Amino acid sequence: MQGLTELLFRRVYEECFPGAIERAVTPFLSLTHNLHNLLQSDGQTSTLRQYLRDVLPEANKGSIPITPQILGKEPDEFIALANKLYDMGYGEVNWNIGCPMRNITGKHRGSGILPYPDEVRGVLDAVVPRIKPLLSVKMRIGLRQKEEIKALVPVINDYPLASVTIHPRLGRQQYTGVPDVETFGQVLPMINHPVIYNGDITTPEDAWRIKERFPGVADVMVGRGILYRPTLPLELTWGEGRVKDGFKTGEPMSDSERLRLTKHFIARLMTKIRNNAKSDESALRKTKEYWCMLWKGLPISEADARKVLREQELTAVDNLIYYFIQ
Ligand SMILES: Cc1cc2nc3c(=O)[nH]c(=O)nc-3n(C[C@H](O)[C@H](O)[C@H](O)COP(=O)(O)O)c2cc1C
């Protein structure tokens, strides 16, 4: 997730919950018109390194395994970037055709391409035979109407995709309303690739409900839930015969243990943000971005959580957060 599950977050996460996340799809790398030239240049320019900073293999060593994500529909740039990522060691790249942001969808990027199956086919036709890594897709069920996905299924079935992740909301819904699991259930058997469910998984029960209702689902992907409940991936690995950090398999995590781990994680993340921020202003902004979601893992009221967002000084924000997680 842009601005959230970036490298710094993933590093802190891995430090606190080693091995809990099987794989993360990175925040998207957006194709830009000069990308082709940039990648053709000497390959090590600082602009290029800056562009690729989140996925540089040396920075991601020892961290959560990642699949870089690409946003855009320009085949030449797509191919150049995908092949660059392959040369950097990534065997799979993910195509984002789900992003709902209006400045993106207006250009038929992200979920903006979903009403146009021929455009999707055009991109896949041009890209798939010419990229070295495997391709997976992350999509919504449509931009404006849920019928859009039904016209897209035959298109995506025509290409050898590693997986298809479906967030069953419409682009125009942004993040409002509830995921349309009915429509998800209708298209699931029509897709001949492994299908990953994504959307509003915030508790282990949410994930188990999906797996129970749709045994054909290959996996579930957690989005905002990682911030609402940072222990969630660890909790989800239980019952699959794994022992983590001394916890026995199959036993639900106690509330007190979940709270202890959550507080520790928040403290580590806050510290890392401060240590890495270029200025107090950027630390303040970043802290608030995370806090909007992280507070939900703590036994505090929304009114109390909002106090943090109203503060304008980093020290005041720190003091409040540390009060809540002490
Ligand atoms: C702030 C924010 C940034 C996001 N950035 C990305 C992104 O870069 N790539 C992506 O595939 N999805 C992105 N998403 C969408 C999530 O990955 C996920 O599909 C969506 O939030 C639904 O899942 P959830 O209900 O578990 O959060 C973003 C979501 C939010 C809220």
Cα 223 to averaged position of ligand 1 atoms, centre (Å): 6
* Mean pLDDT, rounded, for 172-189: 97
Residue with tokens 């969630």: 232
Using a 6 Å cutoff on CB, does residue 229 contact ligand 1?
Answer: no
Query: How many domains is the chain built from?
Result: 2
Stretch 183-212: mean pLDDT, rounded? 96
> Are 68 and 160 members of one domain?
yes
Contacts of 279 (CB under 8 A, 6+ apart): none
Per-residue pLDDT of 25-40, as tens digits, reads 999 999 987 787 778 7
Q: Quick check: is 2 in a domain? A: no
Cα 220 to Cα 209: distance, rounded to the nearest angstrom? 11
Q: Based on the domain organization, do 167 and 297 belong to the same domain?
A: no
The closest-lying atom of ligand 1 relative to the alpha carbon of residue 28 is 8
- Are 229 and 297 within 8 A, CB to CB? yes
Per-residue burial over 32-44, b if 16 or more Cβ lie within 10 Å, else e, is: eeebbebbeeeee
Residue 233 inside a domain? The answer is no
If you measure from the C-alpha of residue 168 to the centroid of ligand 1, how many angstroms do you get, rounded to a whole number? Answer: 12
Domain boundary among 206, 225, 244: 225
Q: Which residue's CA is the nearest one to ligand 1's atom 5?
A: 1
Say how many Å lie between the CA of residue 232 and the centre of ligand 1: 16
Q: Is the pLDDT of residue 94 over 70?
A: yes
pLDDT digit string, tens, across residues 226-258: 999 999 999 887 655 444 454 445 567 889 999
Cβ-contact 42, 68 below 8 angstroms: no
If we measure between CA atoms, which residue out of 136, 134, 142, 150 comes closest to residue 172?
A: 142
pLDDT given for residue 248 in this prediction: 47
Asked if residue 94 has its Cβ within 6 Å of ligand 1, the reply is: no
Alpha carbons 143 and 141: distance in angstroms, whole number: 7
250 in any annotated domain: no
Q: Where does residue 241 rank: exposed (0-12), middle (13-18), buried (19+ CB within 10 A)?
A: exposed
Confidence bin at 6 (pLDDT 50/70/90)? very high
User: Residue 219: what are its φ and ψ, rounded to 5°?
Assistant: -170, 170
Taking alpha carbons only, the member of 275, 315, 317, 316 closest to residue 292 is 317
Same domain assignment for residues 14 and 147:
yes
The DSSP 8-state label assigned to residue 177 in this structure reads S
- Let me know if residue 201 belongs to a domain: yes
Output helix, strand, coil percentages for the chain, rounded to the nearest 5: 50, 15, 35
Radius of gyration of the chain measured on its C-alpha atoms: 20
Shared domain check, 110 and 191 = yes
Q: Is 109 in the pocket of ligand 1 (CB under 6 A)?
A: no
Q: Which atom of ligand 1 is nearest to the CA of 201?
A: 26
Q: Is the CB of 162 under 6 A from ligand 1?
A: no
What is the domain range of residue 304? 255-325
Q: What percent of the chain has pLDDT over 90?
A: 86
Q: Are residues 211 and 261 in the same domain?
A: no
Look up the CATH number of the domain holding residue 55: 3.20.20.70
Fill in the DSSP letter of residue 326.
Answer: -
Is ligand 1 within 6 A of the CB of residue 207? Answer: no
* Residue 102 sits in the same domain as residue 147: yes
